[in-house]
Amino acid sequence: MAITQIYVNLPVTDVEASTKVYVAMGGTVNPEFSGDTSVQVVFADAIVVQLMTRGTFATFTKRNPADGPIEVINALAAGSREEVDRLADAALAAGATEPRAAQDMGWLYNRAVDDPDGHSWELLAYNAEALGDNTTAGQD
């Protein structure tokens, strides 16, 4: 059986504030799976983010959520650099922060935004035709 969807479950301090950032990045709230302590934000048929209070998140695991050093960077692909800029700027206006400057590698353009709890997201656009031998561009 093939994988058909990805669900990213994130513990957050303020569900309402975090929801604003994810909606600004292009997601839509699915009220069927949303409530006071958890909101589902859908980016595409196969990409869903579930924002949960830390207490709700804790009901799914015995481990403590990460708080401090970054554990993962999620990425969302957009159709163009202009769309990346539009989404990043909207996320910033909704309460996200930008941890670094935009990166332009010619074939790949991206901007990073962190939600109010520090969950990192790369918003990117790339040109597969221009990729060529540049697959290691920007890597150490």
In the chain the domains, ranked by start, together with CATH numbers, are: 6-131 (3.10.180.10)
pLDDT, mean over the chain: 91
Helices (H), the chain: 15-24, 54-58, 81-93, 128-131
Assign 69 a pLDDT band (cuts: 50, 70, 90): confident
- Distances in whole angstroms, Cα of residue 121 to Cα of each of 64, 65, 66, 92, 140: 21, 18, 16, 12, 21
Mean of pLDDT values over 5-30? 96
pTM value is 0.85
Per-residue pLDDT reduced to its tens digit, 85-135: 999 999 999 999 999 999 999 999 999 999 999 999 999 999 888 776 555
Question: What phi and psi values does residue 55 have, to the nearest 5 degrees?
Answer: -65, -45
